[in-house]
């Protein structure tokens, strides 16, 4: 990967997703609602790390990252499925792109945009599972607000 003075630095936004209320539920629920970022950036990666293995035989939950509110544009998505969520330490990668579809350039946020992370209102509850959501953001040097 090339280096350059005008290139990006990266930061992680990571959130622990508990079982109760999230993984062990099926309804739409927000993990983070309308957080103002305060700096312009792009969503580069979505990863989910299993920190307590799932035990629900058919657990399946879809997590969306949106630009804006809970009804904003999906810019990243990941499906959490029992088949790949049973072993501690497993990392599952999601898809980054406008509309939840992979594109060439990562979706961008302005410094005044908000970000919402939430589970879709469908799927099958896990009996038990705790994960760490890790979003990789990249930003270029910019002035303070």
Partner 1 sequence: MPRLAPFGYSRHILTLGVPFTGVLNTTNQVTFMLSKTVPFACELERVEIVTTVVGTGAGATRTLNVRNGTASGTIAGTATATLSNQGTLGVVTAGTVTTAAGANKFGSGDTMTVEFITAGATVFSAGGFELLLTFRDKNQAAV
What is the spatial distance between Cα 95 and Cα 2, in angstroms, rounded to a whole number? 23
Per-residue x/- track, 27-56, partner 1 (CB under 8 A): --xxxxxxxx-xxxx---------------
E strand or H helix at 11, and its extent? strand 8-17
**Quick check: 105 binds partner 1 (CB under 8 A)?**
no
Contact 75/116 with Cβ under 8 angstroms? no
Q: In what order do the strands lie in the sheet with 114-119?
A: 95-96, 73-81, 60-67, 114-119
DSSP type of residue 10: E
Q: What is the DSSP letter of 124?
A: B
Q: Which is nearer to partner 1, 28 or 58 (CB)?
A: 28
69: contact with partner 1 by CB under 8 A: no
In the complex, minimum distance from the CB of residue 53 to partner 1, in angstroms, rounded to a whole number: 19
* 12 near partner 1, judged by CB under 8 A: yes
Write down the least CB distance from residue 56 to partner 1, Å: 20
> What is the C-alpha to C-alpha distance for residues 117 and 34, in angstroms, rounded to an integer?
8
15 contacts partner 1 (rule: CB under 8 A): yes
Residues that bind partner 1 (CB under 8 A): 5-6, 9, 11-18, 20-22, 29-36, 38-41, 110-112, 116-118, 137, 139-145
């Amino acid at each position: 990967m090339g280096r350059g003075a005008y290139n990006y630095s990266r930061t992680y936004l990571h959130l622990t997703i508990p079982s109760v209320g999230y993984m062990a539920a099926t309804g739409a629920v927000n993990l983070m609602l309308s957080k103002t970022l305060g700096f312009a950036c792009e969503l580069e990666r979505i990863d989910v790390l299993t920190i307590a293995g799932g035990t629900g035989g058919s657990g399946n939950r879809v997590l969306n990252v949106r630009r804006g509110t809970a009804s904003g544009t999906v810019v990243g998505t990941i499906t959490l499925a029992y088949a790949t969520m049973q072993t501690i330490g497993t990392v599952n990668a999601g898809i980054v792109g406008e509309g939840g579809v992979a594109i060439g350039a990562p979706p961008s946020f302005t410094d005044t945009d908000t970000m919402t992370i939430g589970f879709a209102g469908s799927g099958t509850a896990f009996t038990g599972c705790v994960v760490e959501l890790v979003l990789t953001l990249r930003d270029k040097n910019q002035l303070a607000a």
